[in-house]
Amino acid sequence: MASVRKDVQLNSRYKEQCLRLCRICYEKCEGCVPSTPYADKAEFPCYRDLKNPKGKDKCP
């Protein structure tokens, strides 16, 4: 039972982190972000070029 609760906590933590990053990306790119995760990032250069300190995509 404890492992199920831990999974729920992890999922909610990732959800909060994802929403926070989405807000950051939206603000930095002045709303010019893809409407779905499957949209072509090439159409949104600001969104595409945002990277984290490790060089990976900052925005989900």
Digit-coded pLDDT (tens) for 8-30: 455 667 778 878 878 888 888 88
Higher pLDDT: 9 or 50? It is: 50
**51 φ/ψ sector (left φ>0, alpha ψ -120 to 50, else beta):** beta
pLDDT at residue 54, as a whole number: 92
Helix (H) or strand (E) holding 45: helix 45-49
The Cα 26–Cα 46 span in angstroms is 10
Do 46 and 32 contact (CB within 8 A), yes or no?
Answer: yes
What residues does each domain of the chain span?
A: 2-49
**30 φ/ψ sector (left φ>0, alpha ψ -120 to 50, else beta):** left
